[in-house]
Amino acid sequence: MATITPEELDVLIQQTYKVENEFNELKASYAHLQDTVEKVVEFLPNAIWILNSDNTVFLQNSHARELWELLKLLQYRDEDYEITFNAHSYLVKSSSYKDKVMLSATDITEQKRKENLATMGQMAAHLSHEIRNPIGAISLMSSTLKKRVLPENIPIVEEIQKSVYRIERIIKATLMFSKGVQAQKDLISWSQLKESLDMAIAYYGYSKEIEFVFPKDDFFMHADKDLLEMLFANFITNAIDAIEEDENDEGRVEITYENDGIYHIFKICDSGVAIENEKELFEAFKSTKLKGNGLGLVLSRQIAEAHGGSVNLCTVQKKCFEVKIKM
């Protein structure tokens, strides 16, 4: 049996230490690589699953953990596909490498919502253009008819005019929504706006006793009169509709005003029925009331923003909206 000299033993020990160091470095490098991969996967905005051949999870990020029930519905496919889960839409991609399968699910709900809104806006704008001419003719003929009918038939013609006015408001709002809001500012007074609002209220029509309380003192604003008229008319008509739906035979719509040196601040309150779904208040084409196209509050917010301001539902007074217009 050959004996190992001390020199050979020392060389062997040195080689063993070298192999152990290389192994530890390789192990540390692998751990660093694994940690990097996990951080990259975690950084991705979509849900990621990497599955073993037996469909057990090899690696996943926090988004995937939150959607663990969605994983049961996913399949490996050569092409991307969409799936709906818990009222959300997901784009699913898949790929394979050796014995591993990677699945990713990207939430495209907001993207699809915007695409649907764009499509609906285009359709609504097209319909509005088509309706505008016959509505204009009806409006003109009703004005002529009112001068010729018997006095007892005048209320019927006036009801036609009120209905036409409502349609014209919807057409105007739809076209504005499709084109976007742009403010042409000029110096205007509250008394000018109030005069237009009084006329809008008279045309809108309602069946109950409603008290309208507006600011009495006059003041000036640098704003687009037509746009602000639409903004306040939207809130007032919404308030009228809320009061009409209420059980009481009478109601109240109140607009208060103050300024903080930076903004004109209005609060618009009514005594009508409570708002049912606050989350859909500023969602286009979704209305929280029985009648409406769901554009009034959306446009009102856009009009306020075009004036450097904002529109928000008051947190304390649930039936009040706060409107800010930059001074």
What are 93-150's pLDDT values in tens digits? 998 888 888 899 989 888 877 776 666 666 666 666 677 777 778 878 888 888 888 8
Beta-ladder partners of 326: 263
Asked if 255 contacts 306 with a C-beta cutoff of 8 angstroms, the reply is no
Domain 109-180 annotated CATH 1.10.287: yes
User: So what's the pLDDT on residue 284?
Assistant: 56
pLDDT at 216 over 80: yes
**Greatest mean pLDDT among 20-29, 123-132, 145-154, 168-177:** 145-154
Superfamily in which the 42-107 domain is placed by CATH: PAS domain (3.30.450.20)
User: So what's the pLDDT on residue 189?
Assistant: 92
Residue-wise DSSP of 27-85: HHHHHHHHHHHHHHHHHSSSEEEEE-TTS-EEEE-HHHHHTHHHHTT----SS-EEEEE
Give me the CATH topology for the region 183-327. Heat Shock Protein 90 (3.30.565)
CA angle 118, 119, 124 (to 5 degrees): 95
pLDDT at 190 over 90: yes
What distance in Å separates the CA atoms of residue 132 and residue 81, rounded to the nearest whole number? Answer: 41
pLDDT mean over 177-186: 75
pLDDT mean over 11-36: 73
Residue-wise DSSP of 165-214: HHHHHHHHHHHHHHH------EEEEHHHHHHHHHHHHHHH--SSEEEEE-
- Sign of the alpha-carbon dihedral angle for 198, 304, 235, 203: positive
User: So what's the pLDDT on residue 283?
Assistant: 63
| Interstrand relation of 100-107 and 47-51 (parallel, antiparallel or unpaired) | antiparallel
User: So what's the pLDDT on residue 266?
Assistant: 94
Residues carrying CATH 1.10.287, the chain: 109-180
pLDDT at 7 over 90: no
Question: What amino acid is encoded at 135 in this protein?
Answer: I
User: So what's the pLDDT on residue 264?
Assistant: 93
Residues carrying CATH 3.30.450.20, the chain: 42-107
Look at the block and give the residue holding tokens 């001074």: 327
Residues carrying CATH 3.30.565.10, the chain: 183-327
pLDDT at 285 over 70: no
